[in-house]
Amino acid sequence: MTRIRPSALAAALLALLAAGCRQAETSPWSEDRLARMELRARVAQMLAPAVYVGADARAVADTALARRFAQAGVGGVRLLPGTLPVAERRLGAIQRASRLPLLVIADLDRGVGGALAGASELPPPLSLGTAEGERVDAAAAQASAEAGRLGINFALLTAPSFPYPTALPAPWGAGADSAFVRYARQLSAGGMLVGVRALSAGPEARDGGPPILDWDRAAVDGLQLGLMRGLVAAGVAGIKPASIAIPSLTRDTVPLPDNAVFTQGVLRRDLGFDGLILEDLAPVTPLVRRYGAQEAAVRAVAAGADLLVGVDDVPGTVDAIVRAVETGRISPSRVEAAVRHVFAAKERLRLGMADTASARPDSARAQNPRAAADSAFRGAVAAHRAALLVMGQVPATTLRGCRTTVLVTAPGIAARPLSVALAGRIRGLTHLQTPRLPRRGPLVPRAVDYAGRDADCVIAAAFPGARPAVLDRLGSAGAWPDSAARAALSPDSLARLARDTVPRRIVWIDFFPGAEAAAPAARSLLVVRGVGPAAQQAAAEAVLSPSTRAGVPSGGAWPAARTLRVAAPDSAEMKAARLASIDTILRNGIRDSVFSAAAVVVARRGMVVKMSGYGQTGGEPVDPRGTLFDLASLSKVVGTTPAAMVMVDDGAISLGAPVRRYIPEFRGGNKADVTVRHLLTHTSGLPAGDWLYNLSSSTTALNRVIRSELVRAPGSGMEYSDFGMILMAESIHRVSREPLDRLVARRVFGPLGMVNTQYLPPSYDQARTVPTAVKSERPYVVDGVVHDANAYRLGGVAGHAGLFSTAWDVSIYAQTLLNGGAYGTRRVFREQTVRSWTRRQPNADTRGLGWDTPGPRSSAGSYMTARAYGHTGFTGTSMWMDPELDLFVVLLTNRTYREGSQGALLRIRAAVADAAALSITDRPVPPRAGTAAAIEAARPKVKPRRPAPRRPARRPTRPARRRG
């Protein structure tokens, strides 16, 4: 093994940094000013301290603050949320006092009104994906015009985060043509600089360190880097990397803002970004909390940050960076490159670097402030109407014929604009502020005649952090925290409530929902991407207008499908004692050396009733949520099959099309008759496989598969073929022009939140990966590397093997299929597609499309029904779903590590499946026809003949004694 000398490594890193630190183009004036600047002045230009414009902003006088920033010579300011009048006054003072023009940075995700009360709040650009392009342009034009009047010239936007399963589908695209990219491009065209917070995600921190995102490189590419390429092409001026670590991207766990591999390698070199690299140093940010403000600033600048925003202590930060330069931690060229980027950004704004005249807000732009405000409000309402999401029934239809309607909000919510707008059209509307809403019975306990005076229709408005709870019955514990209300409930009223079984008609309005969004008992769900007056006005108009249209957005599902939750077995009508027998089965498997590690998940009706790990890996107990298993041939149905399903749903691939349409070099013999359907049902006539490991490259191996001769006529019989699924994956790759791993991550794993499902897991994850072989064709223990030698030669991403995942992730996928292709409100497959692909296909033995169905002797056991479907993997993995029983069983093991026999594993799989099925208590579960258990159950029971009772032997009589 070649070792790299430390000096060579340092030289390589310096070369990388030199290649990444591009020199921004600046004017001669800027070059002259830069040449005459001392080190402290240069460092000050890299700072954009925070400006408070809230109610307590008078703690420091405007002129004193302006003088302080002017003396420090900062390059910009970061506007914090507050009120519009204070911001106007304070920004004016700062800009007038500054010797050089300033970058004025503000969060404009929701327009100026999202940051400053009194301005127009707009829906975030992410939600404008549901609107027409003209609406996106109009919203961007309004935001840039209003910001320009105030003097804001640098808009900060938050890019779409890595998708996790939330209550609402993501209404945005991840490509260069997404609404978010268009919004950023239009802001730039309106004369603003645009900075983007990128690569944000929500994983938990480990061991108190930075949050670590475990997505593989394909998922990062498909879900984020494609979007970032679009943003760079759109001309964004700044990128603020999230304070997380992505080992698959940087090969370490250093947070991205401190990581020169990311800033200089990925951003500068790979993406070709030549703008400002930003870092937020507000006191609450992760890096400041971890290192302290000054050390965080030094680390960020050393890694490549150009502009530090939100700085609290300007002199202290300048001193810290200057000391770092003087001691060699930061090179002077690094500071010079940063200041060049700052000056280049100001020149893009045409601020006039010789003076600050054009940097000051021009009051002449708004000659009639009232008219401008009215126009901005109407534009904001129109933008919110365009971004509304209506699911279920149209609200006006739900409310038709209501006798009494009540608007319900949580206490303390400023919902007057909504209440006034609704009251203007709904006679007798009552606005009730209560934390709880009963689904049935009296809404107002003090009402005397509940049937006549109580509300039969409810408009429930949920605001961030203030969501009315819907109760199934009024008398439940804690239903009415108000003691007076409890006193008003008499036994008579509760008896009347018990007879009231008609549910209310509920319209649920969710203002700016997060991951907790839900609409229990609602016929209509209205999602509003804002909370201000314009958003409330738009919501009222949508509720009242019969022309409002309801529809589920692309990639959405409504009503929401089941999501997994852990529950007691009796909640799912299952017997705990029978499920506990699975522990004995799997522990005996470890004892008998069939495998060394296992994880199992059993769920019914969306309730996980059994989730356990067995054995150890990396010195830690197996965790069904976190331990990675090599899925082997489960990759066919977890990776390749879902990719084919979405391609067929899109119309990009046809099941009846010949394979040579997608792979032209697949020809010769009867190959012209081989269709995509044949590949998926293993009836193509291709051989089961061949040894590819000894070939020279992945390209050579793939060509060997394509040139393979058929062993039988297409469609004449079923032969399980790895080669068929390899060709299926290659067809998907060529049609989509996207690697299989990236496509399936973007279309399936990402939307479902399967964060641990990946090809080619990073080396960081080896500690939590279950090893699969001690001895193999490779001279090392196979651990964290695909076990299948052919998949290894094909590069680790193949149609037949290569996926790693956890039992929990596979369970999410299983529940998605039982739901008909949806999980929560995310839909990845059409319901009809799931039904047709999981059924047995003609002339294909037990095979569906990609999937298998249980035969007489199956790893699904004897008691799953004939409608069940699933698959197994050579390393000892399996998953089986039964729509009739609404049950799934996921079992992951590493059989190949201890070289356990397939027969022993088959018996274990069947026993686990039988234990799960036989634990069901609310219906009979007979054995499936054709199984040994069914044959035994059908065998006539012959009663054994009872032997005739034996008569006791007669005791011989003793002769009588003669008397003589």
- Structural tokens at position 291: 């290192």
CATH architecture type of domain 576-932: 3-Layer(aba) Sandwich (3.40)
Contacts of 722 (CB under 8 A, 6+ apart): 633, 688, 689, 790, 799, 800, 801
Secondary structure of residue 705 in the 3-state scheme? helix
Question: Which of 152, 227, 159, 234 has the alpha carbon at shortest distance from 192?
Answer: 152
Report the DSSP beta bridge partners of residue 212. 245
pLDDT of amino acid 487: 34
Whole-number Å distance between alpha carbons of 94 and 60: 13
Whole-number Å distance between alpha carbons of 595 and 614: 10
pLDDT of amino acid 958: 64
- Structural tokens at position 776: 């193999």
Contacts of 918 (CB under 8 A, 6+ apart): 578, 863, 925
Domain extents for the chain? Answer: 12-365, 388-476+500-544, 576-932
Beta strands in 379-474 (DSSP E): 389-392, 405-409, 430-433, 436-438, 457-462, 469-471
Report the chain (964 residues): mean pLDDT per 10 consecutive residues: 38 43 64 88 95 73 87 93 90 88 92 91 79 80 90 91 61 60 90 91 55 85 88 93 89 90 94 95 88 94 96 94 96 94 90 47 52 84 88 89 88 91 89 78 49 72 84 46 38 45 76 65 84 94 91 79 94 96 97 97 98 95 97 98 97 97 94 97 95 94 96 95 98 96 94 92 88 93 95 96 97 98 92 97 95 95 97 98 98 94 95 97 94 86 72 64 50
Whole-number Å distance between alpha carbons of 68 and 817: 62
Please check whether residue 475 is in contact with residue 497, taking contact to mean a CB–CB distance below 8 angstroms. yes
Pairing state of beta strands 826-827 and 822-823?
Answer: antiparallel
pLDDT of amino acid 27: 72
* Cα 564 to Cα 567, 604, 638, distances in angstroms: 9, 9, 18
Angle in degrees, CA 675, 679, 680, rounded to 5: 115
In this structure, whether the domain defined by 388-476+500-544 belongs to CATH 3.40.190 is answered with no
Query: Which string of DSSP letters, residue by residue, matches 915-948?
Result: HHHHTB-SS--PPPTTSHHHHHHHS--PPPPPPP
Please check whether residue 629 is in contact with residue 875, taking contact to mean a CB–CB distance below 8 angstroms. yes
pLDDT of amino acid 945: 72
- Structural tokens at position 608: 């996980």
Query: To which CATH superfamily is domain 12-365 assigned?
Result: Glycoside hydrolase, family 3, N-terminal domain (3.20.20.300)
Question: Which of 638, 648, 635, 757 has the alpha carbon at shortest distance from 222?
Answer: 757
Secondary structure of residue 776 in the 3-state scheme? coil
Query: Which string of DSSP letters, residue by residue, matches 125-180?
Result: GGGGGGS-HHHHHHHHHHHHHHHHHHT--EEEEEPPPPP---SS-----SSTTSHH
Name the helix (H) or strand (E) containing 845. Answer: none
Secondary structure of residue 6 in the 3-state scheme? helix
pLDDT of amino acid 200: 79
Question: Which of 685, 681, 656 has the alpha carbon at shortest distance from 670?
Answer: 685
pLDDT of amino acid 718: 95
Whole-number Å distance between alpha carbons of 353 and 332: 23
Whole-number Å distance between alpha carbons of 820 and 813: 11
What's the distance, CA 4 to chain centroid?
Answer: 39
What's the distance, CA 291 to chain centroid?
Answer: 29
Q: pTM, whole model, 2 decimals?
A: 0.86
Query: Which string of DSSP letters, residue by residue, matches 563-608?
Result: --EE--GGGGTB-HHHHHHHHHHHHHHHHTTS-SEEEEEEEETTEE
Secondary structure of residue 457 in the 3-state scheme? strand
Please check whether residue 246 is in contact with residue 258, taking contact to mean a CB–CB distance below 8 angstroms. no
- Structural tokens at position 87: 């911001």
Pairing state of beta strands 822-823 and 193-198?
Answer: unpaired
Q: Is the Cα torsion angle 137, 129, 641, 586 positive or negative in sign?
A: positive
